[in-house]
Structure formats: structure tokens, C-alpha cells
């Protein structure tokens, strides 16, 4: 289900809120002035409005800085999560400085405009910056408040307080949540701003009218979508800042909120390179029956060469799986299926056996739970879910052998694969067949997932 786009707020919307609270435009003739002043006067306070319309993670140079900060927090991973909790203290300061850059520019420009209007309107007693978050989705309201106040305290003594507000739209396609936030953070406690209470009330009145009108619409009225994952690539590595979760679990999506899967247009790809496993006497019997003079079925030597070539073609994400084939059973199958004995028919028979065994293993696959009873040997698939799109998930697969008196022996067979849970389970089953293991288990790390 698709979320319903809404319209972004404009300066004209804020004009109406300020006017309803008793404020006026500071310079009605602003378009004819040489000096650029602030936007409003409310009571004795001059207010400059700044709309944050731009996504702060959108600039390539900023993305490069973020990549440099985070790449070592998850070494070897094809997808790196932009989680500031993973950063050591020096890098954390650099990260906050990077995401603060748009705010730094806003503060510097607003300071000049506020000073200009205060100089012209000597009767005013204070200067307030109003930041409205219209599109910087990498920052939630609390973080924006913190960064804005911190930046002002460091940069200037000409701003007495900051209003931080925004319209934050979250949706899972069925349920939607739109949060309207508006708070005042005093910078200089000696500045009195009693008009803010009425301004905040008028802001909420506007929000209520906006929501009422939105509920009455049958078609989208704008292009502002819900908050989504922020995704970019640098030097072949994908970086993802997952969208914030929507609070409580969905009552509609019982199994969890749906996640996109942009990498699965054709379904799960083949997870094994399958070859029939024959004993020498069976191969020689087949060679006589088929009477081929060349190719894999012509002699034991050619067959071994064929298997060696298949081994060279195997990949971590598509391991070689040898399926034992009994020649007599295969020949009976050829009769039943009305197929002439050939390499193609032999491969088809091996694939059918592979499919049967795969399904048997997958049907018994279960989640590895803390404290649960574990088999002595199993193949484990672990998937780190990242954000709203399964295409960004990362999985690892290992053979685990339990030992009574020691820690389990864990042998990784596939690491840092950009595949999602279901794909990882199928691949684990293929490795189980290749390793002669009967059991697979799985686990999912949903710390950074969309739930």
C-alpha cells in the first residue's frame, strides 16, 4: 500500500499563524528594500523564519564525510548503518558537526537579518529565530532542538531564543502518523517572550485545520511523502540511515510492517550449483548406454574434469552441491519420464532430488532462540535487517558444531552477503546439503530494521 503524499508548508502558512497570534510582517516592503531584514514582529520580539526544505544528507560532499566517519564502525560490511551510537567520541563530534552544517548556515544568515531589523526598530526588545523542519528528515524534532540551540550558543549573542517546529509524516501504508511539534528554547534567559504561548496555540490550530482538510481529501494535494530511509552509496558501499520506527507495533500488519524488496523482482535466485555425484561403475555403465564419444559422460576422466570445472565455477553465494545419483534409479526415471539418457536428463534428475531435500530441510528450519535446545551440528543463517528495504539487509552463514566441554566451533562459510532473510535461509539449506548437515537455524537482528 502506498502512503498518501501531503503538501509541504510554505512561508504563507506561517504568515497566517503569526498574524493570528497578533504579529505583523516586519517589513511589508521587503521586496523593494536593499537591506534584507527579518520576517515578523510579535509583541516586542523580532522573528526570522527559516524553512529547512533540503535533506541534510543529500549533498555528495556531506555524504563523503559521513562515509569516512562510519565505514570503520562496521568493517567489511557492504551496507553500513548510520547509527551515531556506534561512533567513538571523537568521530561523534565530527558527525554532529557534519549534520549541523545546514543549521549553521541558517543561524549565520538569520543573525544578520535580526540585527538589521532590530537596528531599524529600536522599540523591539528581543530577537528569535524560528526554524521549521520541512524536509531535513535525518533529524527528528528533539535532535534539531538540541543542535539549533547549541549552534546559536556557540555562534552568536544576537539571538535570544529559537522556536523549533516541524511537520513529521510517518506511514506504513495503512496507518499514518503526522506529528506537529512547536517548542521555544530560550538562549538568553533574561529575554521575555510571553507571546509564544499564543503563537504555539495558533500553530496547533493551523495543524488541526490542516489535518481536517487532509482527511476530507480523496486525492493527494502535494508531493511531500512520509519519512523514509536515507540511502546513498560511496565507493561501492551503501550507507543507510533507517527511518524511525512508528512507535507501537502495527495492529493491522500482524507479522510486522511490510518492507520493500527492490532487489527481488525475479524472486530468490538459484542458491546452488548442482552436479550429480556418481561412482565410477555407474558412470561407466551410463557411458555404455549413451554411447557418447566426447563430453562428461564419455569416460571417468572426462567426468572428473567436468566436476572440477563446476567446482571452479562455484561462488560463495552459489556453492557447489553434489547430489548422489544411483544410475539404476535414474534410468528408471528416464523411462517413466520418457526421456532419453543424456547429460541434460542426468542434471534434471539431480535437480529434482536437490529440490526435494532442500524443501525437507527448509520445512524444519527454526529460529535460534536464546536458551533454546540446539542440535549438535547445524548451519546458521544470521540476517541484520536494515531499514525499510530488504535489499539493504546483510547476512552471514556458518556451520556450527556444539561441543560438550568447550564453546561451539563456528566455521563461517559466507560472510557479509547483501541478501535478506528468506534468501539467506535458502542459501543456508544449500550449504547444509553441501556439508552433509541435516538442520538449519536462523536468527534476525532487527535493531536497525523496520518493525
Task: State yes or no: pLDDT of 1 exceeds 60.
Answer: no
pLDDT at 251: 74
Give the domain ranges of the chain. Answer: 11-55+97-216, 273-363, 366-449
- pLDDT above 60 (res 257): yes
> Do the bridges between strand 176-186 and strand 161-171 make them parallel or antiparallel, or are there none, so unpaired?
antiparallel
C-alpha cell at 128: 528569535
Report the pLDDT value the prediction gives residue 306, as an integer from 0 to 100: 96
Angle at 301 between CA 300 and CA 303, to 5 degrees: 65
Which of 131, 102, 135 minimizes the C-alpha distance to 223? 135
How confident is the model over 82-89, as a mean pLDDT? 94
Q: For the CA atoms of the chain, what is the radius of gyration?
A: 32
pLDDT digits (tens, 9 = 90+) for 312-362: 999 999 999 999 999 999 999 999 999 999 999 999 999 999 999 999 999
Q: What is the pLDDT of residues 146-198, one digit of tens each?
A: 999 999 999 888 999 999 999 998 888 778 888 999 999 999 988 899 999 99
Q: How confident is the model at residue 3 (pLDDT cuts 50, 70, 90)?
A: low
- Bridge partners (DSSP) listed for residue 409: 401
Give residue 220's pLDDT: 63
* 124-135: pLDDT as tens digits: 999 999 999 998
The grid coordinates listed for 292 are 557418447
Residue 46: the pLDDT is: 97
CA–CA gap between residue 133 and residue 162 (Å, rounded): 13
- Return the pLDDT at 303: 97
| pLDDT tens figures, 277-309 | 999 999 999 999 999 889 999 999 999 999 999
Residue 54 pLDDT greater than 90, yes or no: no
263-277 residue pLDDT tens: 877 789 999 999 999
| Percent over 70 (pLDDT), the chain | 98
| pLDDT exceeds 50 at position 252 | yes
Query: What is the average pLDDT value for the chain, to the nearest integer?
Result: 92
Q: Could you report the per-residue pLDDT of 393-430, keeping only the tens digit for each?
A: 999 999 999 877 788 899 999 999 999 999 999 999 99
Averaged pLDDT for residues 189-208: 95
Residues 345 and 286: their CA atoms lie apart, in Å, by: 12
Report how far residue 303's alpha carbon sits from residue 325's, in angstroms, rounded to the nearest whole number: 14
Is it the case that residue 2 has pLDDT exceeding 60?
no
Q: Sorting pLDDT into bands at 50, 70 and 90, what band is 51?
A: very high
**Sole residue written with cell 547445524:** 378
By DSSP bridging, strand 176-186 and strand 366-367 are unpaired
Q: Let me know: does 417 contact 396? Beta carbons within 8 Å.
A: yes
- Residue 344 pLDDT: 96
Q: Rounded distance, CA 365 to CA 170, Å?
A: 35
Amino acid at each position: 500500500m502506498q502512503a498518501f503524499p501531503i503538501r509541504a508548508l510554505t512561508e504563507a502558512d506561517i504568515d497566517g499563524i503569526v498574524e493570528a497570534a497578533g504579529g505583523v510582517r516586519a517589513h511589508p516592503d521587503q521586496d523593494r528594500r536593499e537591506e534584507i531584514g527579518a520576517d515578523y514582529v510579535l509583541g516586542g520580539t523580532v522573528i526570522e523564519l527559516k524553512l529547512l526544505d533540503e535533506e541534510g544528507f543529500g549533498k555528495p560532499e556531506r555524504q563523503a564525510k559521513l562515509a569516512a566517519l562510519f565505514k570503520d564502525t562496521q568493517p567489511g560490511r557492504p551496507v553500513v548503518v548510520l547509527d551515531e551510537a556506534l561512533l567513538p567520541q571523537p568521530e561523534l563530534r565530527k558527525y554532529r558537526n557534519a549534520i549541523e552544517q545546514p543549521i549553521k548556515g541558517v543561524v549565520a544568515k538569520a543573525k544578520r537579518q535580526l540585527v538589521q531589523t532590530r537596528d531599524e526598530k529600536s522599540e523591539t526588545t528581543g530577537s528569535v529565530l524560528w526554524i521549521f523542519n520541512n524536509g531535513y528528515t535525518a533529524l527528528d524534532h528533539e535532535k534539531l532542538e538540541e543542535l539549533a540551540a547549541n549552534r546559536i550558543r556557540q555562534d552568536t549573542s544576537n539571538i535570544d531564543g529559537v522556536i523549533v517546529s516541524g511537520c513529521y509524516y510517518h506511514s506504513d501504508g495503512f496507518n499514518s502518523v503526522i506529528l506537529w511539534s512547536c517548542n521555544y528554547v530560550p538562549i538568553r534567559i533574561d529575554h521575555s517572550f510571553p507571546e509564544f504561548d499564543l503563537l504555539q496555540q495558533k500553530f496547533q490550530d493551523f495543524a488541526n485545520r490542516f489535518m481536517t482538510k487532509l482527511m476530507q481529501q480523496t486525492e493527494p494535494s502535494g508531493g511531500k511523502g512520509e519519512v523514509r530511509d536515507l540511502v546513498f552509496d560511496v565507493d561501492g558501499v551503501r550507507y543507510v540511515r533507517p527511518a524511525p520506527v512508528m512507535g507501537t507495533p502495527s495492529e493491522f500488519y500482524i507479522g510486522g510492517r511490510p518492507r520493500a524488496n527492490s532487489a527481488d523482482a525475479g524472486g530468490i535466485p538459484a542458491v546452488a550449483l548442482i552436479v550429480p555425484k556418481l561412482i565410477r561403475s555407474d558412470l561407466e555403465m551410463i557411458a555404455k548406454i549413451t554411447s557418447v564419444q566426447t563430453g562428461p559422460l564419455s569416460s571417468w576422466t572426462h567426468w572428473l574434469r567436468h566436476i572440477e570445472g563446476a567446482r571452479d565455477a562455484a561462488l560463495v553465494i552459489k556453492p557447489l552441491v553434489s547430489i548422489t545419483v544411483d544410475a539404476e534409479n535414474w534410468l528408471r526415471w528416464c523411462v517413466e519420464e520418457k526421456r532419453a539418457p543424456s547429460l541434460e536428463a542426468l542434471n534434471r534428475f539431480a535437480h529434482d532430488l536437490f529440490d526435494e531435500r532442500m524443501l525437507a530441510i527448509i520445512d524444519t528450519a527454526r529460529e535460534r532462540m536464546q536458551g533454546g535446545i540446539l542440535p549438535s551440528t547445524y548451519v546458521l543463517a544470521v540476517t541484520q535487517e536494515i531499514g525499510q528495504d530488504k535489499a539493504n539487509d546483510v547476512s552471514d552463514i556458518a556451520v556450527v558444531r556444539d561441543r560438550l566441554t568447550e564453546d561451539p566451533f563456528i566455521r563461517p562459510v559466507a560472510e557479509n552477503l547483501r541478501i535478506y532473510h528468506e534468501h539467506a535461509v535458502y542459501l543456508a539449506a544449500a550449504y547444509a546439503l553441501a556439508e552433509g548437515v541435516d538442520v538449519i537455524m536462523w536468527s534476525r537482528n532487527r535493531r536497525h530494521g523496520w518493525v
